[in-house]
Amino acid sequence: MNNRIKEYRARYNLTQEDLARKVNVRRETIVFLEKNKYNPSLKLAYDIARVFESQIEDIFIF
């Protein structure tokens, strides 16, 4: 599964730390997500999509 978190983060001018704090995970988790080393739970994917005011399928590509 790929994702466009980095692209959306840049669009919303958020650092990895900012996004981590907003979705209540550690910064390392955002790093792993961006490197495609971790597939998030549905809840985390939903939380990230909500921060970026988008649908889950816009950010996560199955």
| 17 is a site residue for another protein (CB under 8 A) | yes
* Cβ-Cβ contacts under 8 Å for 5 (sequence gap 6 or more): 19, 30, 33, 34, 48, 59
Quick one: which segment of 2-10, 28-36, 51-59 binds another protein (CB under 8 A)?
28-36
Token output for 55 = 């649908």
* Residue 15 sits in the site that holds another protein (CB under 8 A): no
* Residue found by looking up tokens 């597939």 in the block: 39
Number of residues counted as binding another protein (CB under 8 A)? 18
Of 4, 29, 34, 51, which lies in the binding site for another protein, with binding defined by CB under 8 A?
29
